[in-house]
Amino acid sequence: MPVKKTLIHNRMNLNRIFGVVLLVAVVWGCAEVPITGRRSLHLVPESELLTLSLQQYNEVLQKSKLSTDNQKVAMVRRVGNRVAKAAESFLAETGHQDLIKDFQWQFNLIEDDETANAWVMPGGKAAVYTGILPFTKDETGLAVVLGHEVGHALANHGNERMSQELLANMGGMALSVALSSQPQVTQELAMAAFGAGASIGVLLPYSRLQESEADHIGLILMARAGYDPREAVPFWQRMNKAPGSRPPELLSTHPAPETRIADIQALIPEAMAYYRGSAK
């Protein structure tokens, strides 16, 4: 067989082998999202993801100005810990406690009135920006936001987005290899995947499905934490009426306002059952 044909044949065989390996990795790398039951792609080992998350979180805190308003800081931590406790109890009751067994919750308030945003990284490391507090108004409004962001963490959307980006843009290489060969790019990719990319000018869009999942999970968590899920509707209405041509970061990659609110309204009866149960 001529050399050229041999090379083409070998390349085709390698492509087939890579395709089979990739398919196996995808199948074995799927995990179930709590509450919704969707199967999602998780190719990054949790130990590597949590290590990277903690590193990125510490860097964000070092570069940011933390709020010194003790009352607001206490509110953020109080609401955050109530939602986190609700998440832990819910997962324990449904047999999914292993999903967050290595989480170490931490909630900080960053002084930045121009940024209406919040995020929770894999591992439970969270930040709220003071710019979102005028929209939340009170603890219940803040519970809408933190329930949603904890929902992203419980659904492991960070891992899913990292996996998708590693497959699409980095040839499917392992996270450890990507970090050693392209550390800056990979770290920025991680920040964007974890929802904190606005601080470096990059933000990977959550998919419509991921946003809907976070809304769904968030409503259940805030209800179990004792916050009225019906308050989610006026919160998102306030966010949608934000002045200026540029939407708040929390809305920049989200579903159309009318669709989102309609979907949330459809989920409220389910959440209300948990809310009434939390009052017993």
Q: What is the DSSP pairing of strand 30-32 with strand 118-120?
A: unpaired
What's the confidence (pLDDT) of residue 25? 40
What is d(CA 167, CA 160) in angstroms, rounded to the nearest whole number?
11
Structural contact between residues 187 and 56, judged by C-beta atoms closer than 8 angstroms: yes
Q: For the segment 70-99, what is each residue's pLDDT rounded down to a tens digit?
A: 999 999 999 999 999 999 999 999 888 888
What is d(CA 65, CA 239) in angstroms, rounded to the nearest whole number?
24
Structural contact between residues 215 and 263, judged by C-beta atoms closer than 8 angstroms: yes
Q: For the segment 211-261, what is each residue's pLDDT rounded down to a tens digit?
A: 889 999 999 999 999 999 999 999 999 988 876 544 555 665 566 678 889
Q: For the segment 17-49, what is each residue's pLDDT rounded down to a tens digit?
A: 333 333 334 433 567 777 777 887 777 788 888
What's the confidence (pLDDT) of residue 2? 56
User: Per the confidence metrics, is the pTM higher than 0.85?
Assistant: no
35 Rama sector, left if φ>0, alpha if ψ -120 to 50, beta otherwise:
left
Q: What is the DSSP pairing of strand 118-120 with strand 125-129?
A: antiparallel
Q: How many Cα neighbours within 13 Å face the side chain of 187?
A: 15
Count CB atoms within 10 A of the CB of residue 105. 20
What's the confidence (pLDDT) of residue 130? 97
What's the confidence (pLDDT) of residue 226? 97
